[in-house]
Amino acid sequence: MKFSIRSVLSQAMQGQTGWKPQWRNPEPRAEYDAIVVGGGGHGLACAYYLASRYGLHNIAVIEKSLVGSGNVGRNTTIVRSNYLLPGNIPFYETSLKLWEGLEQEINYNAMVSQRGVLNLFHSDGQRDVAIRRGNAMRLHGVHAELLSRDEVRARHPFLDYDNARFPIMGGLLQQRGGTVRHDAVAWGYARAADKLGVDILQNCELTGLRIEGGRVLGAETSRGYIAARKIGLSVAGNSSRVAAMAGMRLPVESHVLTAFVSEGIKPLLHSVITFGAGHFYISQSDKGGLVFGASVDGYNSYAQRGNLPCVEDTCEEAMALMPALGRLRMLRSWGGIMDMTMDGSPIIDRTPVEGLYLNGGWCIGGFKATPAAGLCLAHLMARDEPHEVARAYRLDRFATGRLLDETGGGTNMALH
């Protein structure tokens, strides 16, 4: 069913009784040409691009729970391409360009909103770092704008400019950045992939990998064995557990990241704002709630909920940036499992097992990468070679030392 003004009006006339399920609920086949493990944003995007751009149609996505129940439906929805390193900027810019055309391409309202992402700085040193990053972006043809303190104040008068410890001195703005309705991305890609013949198998957990002679032959699942000579792993926070099924030990640790949403208020925040003196980011959803978060918990966990010190830390940063937030009531908080790499950058690469591919290590920032990660994993699976914008995301960089340490955080997970 195509969404259009006509279909919306005709449904209104029928009392909204004619909508059909957005994707099928098929039984698993005995064999597929390719299986993507993980029905999050990345896995579904990969299946869609395999079918739409690489001509494969006998594909399944296997998801242990429901489509969109992982991090794709739990994040704070921020998208941007304001990176520093040459290994990262072209990748994230490819992603942002895909976001810009996504709704037309898949005929789905994902509420892509380029309301701007503003990174605040609070010291002379931080200003230098922001200028360097803005210049690196501009050298790659990505627009960035340095705002003075007065320009930031004119846009966002309610921030605490004269905080004795963290005075706001200005900000780096990427106007093309913004937010996207997270779960609509999963639903939109699922619907578009299904339309191209992809089988989306929900409640189908990968429980083992059949490997013989160094080559993958198929997937053991909770719904039986499914043969496939190409399998892409795209399971976010579960990357190390799933890779262990192929005997691999990944340079990844799983940590919980928590997000928060306040009661709905009238329009206040017109862009995404990040607090440079800590790690705090905030935006306002179209329903009016303020959506925000900070850093990961300091220890490894597979729990999908955060802890109280993390709540305290987030609230402290919120109050330092925007004291008026203290008057708001919180509606909800929730957590997701992050697959944190040792340099803060992701992995999209072949594995030592022939036919087995890995997309993971997205740390706390993989939502913005969804279209490009899907495209690059699809390219890798179809052509058996990396996409040109994802060449730096090699699995062996942790052994060779060619790290991609965007934030300069080293191996401290909490800093990525």
Residues forming contacts to ligand FAD in the complex (CB under 6 A) are 37-43, 62-65, 69-72, 74-78, 205-206, 234-236, 238, 242, 257-259, 293, 336, 362, 364-368
DSSP letter for 175, please. Answer: T
CB of 301 to ligand FAD, least distance (A): 12
Residue 37 or 190: which CB sits closer to ligand FAD?
Answer: 37
356 DSSP 8-state letter: E
What are the residues facing 37 on neighbouring strands?
62, 233
One-letter amino acid of 105: E
Q: Which residue carries 């440079």 as its tokens?
A: 276
Cβ 355 vs Cβ 215: under 8 Å: yes
> How far is the CA of 211 from the CAs of 218, 220, 231, 242, in angstroms?
7, 11, 11, 14
- Name the residue nearer to ligand FAD (CB basis): 82 or 169: 82
Cβ closer to ligand FAD: 170 or 371?
A: 371
CB of 166 to ligand FAD, least distance (A): 22
- Nearer of residues 52 and 239 to ligand FAD, judged by Cβ: 239
Separation between Cα atoms, residue 277 and residue 21, nearest integer Å: 46
10 Å CB burial of residue 299 (0-12, 13-18, 19+) is: exposed
Closest CB 148 distance from ligand FAD, rounded Å:
26
Give the shortest CB-150-to-ligand FAD separation in angstroms: 28
Task: Work out how close the CB of 259 gets to ligand FAD at its nearest, in angstroms, rounded to a whole number.
Answer: 4
Which residue, 52 or 71, has its beta carbon nearer to ligand FAD? Answer: 71
For residues 358 and 352, give the distance between their C-alpha atoms in angstroms, rounded to a whole number.
10
Tell me whether residue 78 or residue 169 sits nearer to ligand FAD (CB atom): 78
Closest CB 343 distance from ligand FAD, rounded Å: 15
Return the residue nearest ligand FAD (CB atom): 40
Surface-to-core class of residue 315, CB atoms within 10 Å of its CB (0-12 exposed, 13-18 middle, 19+ buried): middle
